[in-house]
Amino acid sequence: MKVIDAHAHLVHRPAGIDHLVESGEFEEVWLMDLSRVGTLECYEMATQDEILEHLRRYPGFFRAFGFVDLDCDSPADIRKLRDLGFCGLKPYKQRKPYGDAGYFPIYEEAQKLGMPILFHTGLIARGGAFSGTGNHAYGSENMRPSQLAGIAEAFPHLPVIAGHLGWPYLNETEQNLYFYANISCDISGYRNCFDRMPALLDRRANDGSGRFFNQKMHFATDQFYGYPGEMERAFKLKHFWELYFELVGGTYYRWGQENERKKFFYENARRIFPTHSETIPRENSPIIS
Ligand SMILES: [Zn+2]
C-alpha cells in the first residue's frame, strides 16, 4: 500500500537520506521547515537551503512547508517562500493565538497561493526558559486546536492541517473535524487518546462533505530524518499503524476495510496535493462504506 508521511522534519547535515528515499516505505515525505527555530530539544534543524537542496536532489519524494514567523513575516515573505519551492507553510510558537486577526493577511495570502498550513496543536516540546530576551511563546495555549476554527471559517479554501491530535484538547480537534470541511489533522505525536481512536475514525463529519473522520486524518511520523534512529522509528510507526488498521479496524470497523485504509495512509494527503497522473475521488463524492 502507498504511504505518505505527511509531517516530518529534516535535521542539519542529515545522514542516511538515500536509504530513506530508496527504502520504498514512503511515496512522499512532507518536511516541515523549522530552520528559524534553531535547535529543538537535542535536534539541530536543517537550514532552509538544506531543505531546498533535498527537494532538488530527490524530485517528487519530498515536499516542504516553509517556516513562517507569524509575528514578523508579511504576505510578501509568503510569496518568497512559494517562489523558493515551498508548497505549504509551518508556523511555530508564535506569540499570539493562531486565530488572532493580526495573522489574517498571512492566511489570506496562503489561501490565494494555494499553500496549505500545518499548525502544531496541543502538547509541545519545551523551549528555553524565560530570560527576558526570548522571542517565542511558551506552552500550548496559543496553539490549541480551537484556534483553527476561526481560520477555517474565514478562509474556507485554505487547507488547514492540525499537526497531531491536539492532546490534551482532543474534544477541540474532534469538533474541528466534525464541523469544518477544510480542517484535517495528522496523527503523529502523543498517543494518549488511543482508546478513543476507533470511535473517532468512525465518526461522520457534518461539514458539508459528509466524509467520515478516516477521510480527514493523515498518517504522519513527525520524525527528524537524518538523525540516527529516526528513520527506523518512522518505519516502526508505519508498520504499527498498518497493523492497527488491518488487525483491529479490519475486523471490527468500516475504517479498517481495505478501500478505507488507503485514505488514511495516502489518499487524504494526496487530495491536498493532487498529482496529474492520479484521480482521487472528489471530497463530496458519495461515500462508499
Ligand atoms: Zn513536527
Share of the chain above pLDDT 70, in %: 94
- Say if residues 253 and 198 touch (Cβ distance below 8 Å): yes
Distance 110 CA to ligand 1 centre (A): 20
Classify residue 283: in a domain, yes or no. no
- Say if residues 105 and 77 touch (Cβ distance below 8 Å): no
What are 52-78's pLDDT values in tens digits?
999 999 999 999 999 999 999 999 999
- Domain around 46: 4-272
- Judge whether residue 282 has pLDDT over 70: no
Distance 222 CA to ligand 1 centre (A): 5
Classify residue 278: in a domain, yes or no. no
Classify residue 255: in a domain, yes or no. yes
Classify residue 215: in a domain, yes or no. yes
What are 238-259's pLDDT values in tens digits?
999 999 999 999 988 999 999 9
Specify the residue for cell string 495555549.
Answer: 141
Distance 29 CA to ligand 1 centre (A): 12
Cβ of 259: how many Cβ atoms within 10 Å?
Answer: 10
Measuring CA to CA, which residue among 243, 217, 287, 230 is closest to residue 4?
A: 217
Distance 165 CA to ligand 1 centre (A): 12
* Average pLDDT, integer, range 87-106: 97
Query: In this predicted structure, what is the pLDDT of residue 276?
Result: 63
Distance 92 CA to ligand 1 centre (A): 9
Measuring CA to CA, which residue among 25, 21, 12, 19 is closest to residue 219?
A: 25
* Average pLDDT, integer, range 213-230: 97
Distance 288 CA to ligand 1 centre (A): 32
- Say if residues 5 and 218 touch (Cβ distance below 8 Å): no
Tally of structural domains, the chain: 1
Distance 286 CA to ligand 1 centre (A): 33
* Average pLDDT, integer, range 182-190: 93
Distance 251 CA to ligand 1 centre (A): 32
Distance 16 CA to ligand 1 centre (A): 19
Measuring CA to CA, which residue among 69, 22, 41, 1 is closest to residue 222?
A: 41
Classify residue 288: in a domain, yes or no. no
- Judge whether residue 204 has pLDDT over 80: yes
What are 115-128's pLDDT values in tens digits?
999 999 998 888 77
- Measure CA 280 to chain center: 19
Distance 252 CA to ligand 1 centre (A): 31
- Judge whether residue 285 has pLDDT over 70: no
Query: In this predicted structure, what is the pLDDT of residue 190?
Result: 75
- Measure CA 169 to chain center: 17
Sign of CA dihedral 71, 68, 118, 283: positive
Query: In this predicted structure, what is the pLDDT of residue 287?
Result: 36
Distance 208 CA to ligand 1 centre (A): 29
Classify residue 285: in a domain, yes or no. no
Classify residue 222: in a domain, yes or no. yes
For residue 203 the three cell numbers come to 465518526
Q: What is the CATH number of the domain that holds 118?
A: 3.20.20.140
Distance 45 CA to ligand 1 centre (A): 11
Cβ of 249: how many Cβ atoms within 10 Å?
Answer: 23
Classify residue 289: in a domain, yes or no. no
Q: What is the DSSP code string of 60-128?
A: TTEEEEEE--TTT--HHHHHHHHHHT--EEE--S-SS-TT-GGGHHHHHHHHHHT--EEEE-SS----P
- Give dist(CA 15, CA 101) in Å, integer: 41
Distance 2 CA to ligand 1 centre (A): 22
Q: Mark residue 16 as left, alpha or beta (left: phi above 0; alpha: psi -120 to 50; beta: remaining).
A: left
Confidence at 279, pLDDT banded by 50, 70, 90: low
Distance 285 CA to ligand 1 centre (A): 31
